[in-house]
Amino acid sequence: MTDARYLASDDVSDLATPADYVEAVRDAYRQRGEGAPAEPRTKLVNDDPPGMFTTYAAVLPDTGAMGGYMYSAGFSERDAWFMTPLFDADSGEPLALLDGASMNPFKTGATGAVGVDALARHDATSVAVIGSGAQARGQLRCTAEVRDLETVWVYSPTKESREAFAGEMNTALDAAVAAVASPDAAIEDADIVITATNAAEPVFDGDHLEDGTHVTAMGQYHPGKRELDATTIERAVYVPDLRARATKDAGSFLHALDEGVVTEDHIHAELGEVLVGDAPGRTSDDDITVFDSGGTGIETAAAAYMLYERAEEAGRGTTIDISPASDALTGE
């Protein structure tokens, strides 16, 4: 019998800052660049009731942890549940089971921020955000940890939502945040463009991107999700979180392949390869760069282990007993 810890969202929601998430996720992708195992998501789709069940995982040897997400979305409740099992990477024993909902925007936002730090110009100070939900908040809060932001423009289709986002972020950040009425107005003069949507069609015109812009796209987790048009992919130094994911579920890259404007050789490198110096990031201030962040077990295991350690120190969570197979299967 092994003691593990169940951590509800309320147990972990105040244990880490955006900067903490960025630090943990950066180190995890460094480990991936040095060969840590990780695989793209596996998604099972149900027709009636409509929904999906998704899993992905990673092993982080230097952290000493392994884990990932298992989550359901849709089905009859029309909602989503995120569960994160976490294991010891040395012994293989279970460490914890986390309700992963509260960490989701921050571990995903931290991944985007690591991509920004690796690929955006060092003097980048202006950001366009397309989207105004929880994921957009996480992306912007974490990006502010890696660049000294001065101006932020946000667009989403609902006027009230983008204005509420601007008001909240204007208070939270040392930057001027304003809502704008169109994607073109948002991306004009932006050094960094962040797309945080569930769009099935491109959310801006790639011809309107200025040279030197960096784009982080986090809604590219399904062949039918397409935040970026083929022009953006074609013009960019293209870096996904996992190389294998680009040809499996990265919707914008798959559309660009189908349109014949790029080949698989257009994948410049994985993020981890850039972090460890196996491939350069941008080589010129004029490069357009894209970080395609569709979600992996890398950031999930890293964030979960950070929260687990802090919860242990704070004495939070509920102890649960888990039997090893040697006991449970033999009855001894």
In this prediction, residue 87 carries a pLDDT of 98
Neighbours of 170 (CB within 10 A): 14
Is 152 domain-assigned? yes
Residue 194 pLDDT greater than 90, yes or no: yes
pTM value?
Answer: 0.95
Higher pLDDT, 275 or 327: 275
Asked if residue 276 and residue 146 are part of one domain, the reply reads yes
pLDDT for the residue numbered 246: 95
If asked whether residues 282 and 313 sit together in one domain, one would say no
Is there a domain that residue 112 lies in? no
Are 134 and 79 part of one and the same domain?
A: no
Same domain, 100 and 9: yes
Radius of gyration of the chain (CA): 20
Q: Which pLDDT tens digit goes with each residue over 75-90? A: 999 999 999 999 999 9
Q: What is the CATH number of the domain that holds 60?
A: 3.30.1780.10
Q: Are residues 92 and 138 in the same domain?
A: no
Quote the pLDDT of residue 329.
Answer: 74
The tens digit of pLDDT for each residue in 14-39 reads: 999 999 999 999 999 999 999 999 99
Find the domain containing 204 and state its range. 119-292
Does residue 111 form part of some domain?
no
Q: Does the residue 29 lie in any domain?
A: yes
Q: Is 176 within a domain?
A: yes
Claim to verify: residue 141 and residue 90 sit in the same structural domain = no
- Percentage of the chain surpassing pLDDT 90? 92
Element at 71 (helix H, strand E): strand 65-74
In a domain, 143, yes or no: yes
The token pair at 67 is 């884990």
Number of structural domains the chain divides into: 2
Among the listed ranges 212-216, 223-227, 258-262, 290-294, which one has the minimum average pLDDT value? 223-227
116-137 confidence digits (pLDDT tens): 999 999 999 999 999 999 999 9
| DSSP string for residues in 150-184 | -EEEEE-SSHHHHHHHHHHHHHHSSSEEEE-SSHH
Question: Residue 223's domain is classified under what CATH number?
Answer: 3.40.50.720
